[in-house]
Structure 1
Amino acid sequence: MRAQPIAPLFQSHFSSPLGQMLLAANEQGLTGVWFVQGQQHMPDTSGWQTNDKHPTLQTAAQQLAEYFSGERQTFDLPLYPTWGTPFQRNVWQALLRIPYGHTGTYGDIARNIGTSKAVRAVGAAIGQNPHTIVVPCHRVLGANGSLTGFAGGLDRKTFLLAHEAAHA
């Protein structure tokens, strides 16, 4: 994760079937969604303000609840990319093009952004995705269809893929 953003960040928590999630936003939009336990690449939240009434955080919690109940397949949230290099942000944008209930590979993402030889860099960028579930990094598989890395853990990735397959 890159340096802490300068603009004030607000946080709240959401209880999901996969454990507590940390939601973060600023005045421009949703800056992040992470699992609290077992998540790699968590930001330093020491300067963040807790605000359960922040409109973006409330909307994100509502849409995540709808997603987990099988009522929502796409998110309609203002995403504000606070972290990441231009390359990482490009990779994260490509993840948004993988439809609900479908999967792609790291190679697919690399080809889609015009860097077919940068599969490892794409994988590293996906691992830094600050918008877990909302930007669907869980839909990316290895070239042979195997489950590979997920910053929230492979058990959660397995759950999310099965959940989407059941509600597609």
Structure 2
Amino acid sequence: MNTVKVAGLLAPIVDGEDAAVANLAAQFTAAASAQGLVDVAYRMIDSPVGQLLLAGTEAGLVRVAFAVEGHDSVLEALCAAVSPRIMRAPARLDAAARELDEYFQGRRQSFDLPLDFRLAQGFRREVLVHLPEIGYGQTASYAAVAAMTSSPRAVRAVGTACARNPLPLVVPCHRVIRSDGSQGAYLGGAEAKSLLLALEAGAK
């Protein structure tokens, strides 16, 4: 059984195990949450762009990660940057999972989730706050996004902010493209970006 260490305890990660073990895992999770031992809860969901890791704090959704980022590496980074008290506790992320499912089904065009931006500071955070202003099914160039900020010439920095966006999909950096109309790079990969843009174009 795989485990995650939480405040000196080992939280079981259940994947296809029997009902008794699953019940013990659920009890462990509930007890740890009730005692305030979980600072970062996480879960995995399947999606058209591959398996996604969702992580949340009491403040809100703090991380959405693609499989290509390496979920184990993402969890280790969250331990270092946020708290080592991290645990697989899906219930805290039910709303995020539901809204992402609705998005991928073409039934949701914007997200209504509390967000924890602690992993983005300074200008990067300013860029991310502006990205939802790009409407569903629309795109904007890196230069256009820079023009929304306090540093309208910082086009390259906008690209960096998008590349390091800790909340892709929910904070829509996939809608930012190059001035020549080409897609540009994307944290989840070029294929994922194409799929997301096509999804939104077809569901408008």
Q: TM-score if structure 2 supplies the norm length?
A: 0.74
**Paired residue for 1:61?**
97
* CA deviations over 1:113-149 (Å, ceiling 9, x no partner): 0312110011101111111100000000001111101
What is the SS of the residue equivalent to 2:91? coil
- Alpha-carbon spacing, 1:115–1:16, altered in 2? closer, same or farther (3 Å): same
**Paired residue for 1:132?**
168
**d(CA) in 2 for partners of 1:140 and 1:14?**
25
* CA deviations over 1:79-124 (Å, ceiling 9, x no partner): 1112122211100011110000000010001111031211001110
**d(CA) in 2 for partners of 1:135 and 1:35?**
14
Q: Given the alignment of the two structures, is residue 98 of structure 1 paired with residue 129 of structure 2, yes or no?
A: no
Q: TM-score if structure 1 supplies the norm length?
A: 0.89
**d(CA) in 1 for partners of 2:154 and 2:90?**
40
**d(CA) in 1 for partners of 2:197 and 2:118?**
27
Aligned-pair identity in percent equals 39
What is the SS of the residue equivalent to 1:121? helix
- Alpha-carbon spacing, 1:39–1:70, altered in 2? closer, same or farther (3 Å): farther
Matched AA of 1:34: A
**d(CA) in 2 for partners of 1:165 and 1:67?**
13
**d(CA) in 1 for partners of 2:53 and 2:153?**
34
Runs of 5+ in structure 2 lacking a partner? 1-37
Q: Given the alignment of the two structures, is residue 25 of structure 1 paired with residue 56 of structure 2, yes or no?
A: yes
**Paired residue for 1:3?**
none
- Alpha-carbon spacing, 1:84–1:45, altered in 2? closer, same or farther (3 Å): closer
**Paired residue for 2:67?**
36
- Alpha-carbon spacing, 1:39–1:115, altered in 2? closer, same or farther (3 Å): farther
CA drift of 1:38 comes to 4.7
Structure 2 residue aligned with 1:115, among 151, 160, 163?
A: 151
Matched-pair contact (CA < 8 Å) for 1:94–1:109: yes
**Aligned pairs (5 A) from 1:68-107:** 68-107=104-143
**d(CA) in 1 for partners of 2:162 and 2:68?**
19
Matched-pair contact (CA < 8 Å) for 1:17–1:68: yes
- Larger fraction in helix: 2
**d(CA) in 2 for partners of 1:29 and 1:42?**
17
Structure 1 residue aligned with 2:90, among 52, 66, 73?
A: 52
What is the SS of the residue equivalent to 1:90? helix
Runs of 5+ in structure 1 lacking a partner? 1-6
Matched AA of 1:166: G
Greater Cα radius of gyration, structure 1 or 2 = 2
**d(CA) in 1 for partners of 2:70 and 2:102?**
22
Query: Number of residue pairs matched?
Result: 160
Higher RCO (CA 8 Å, separation ≥ 6 residues) = 1
CA drift of 1:34 comes to 1.2
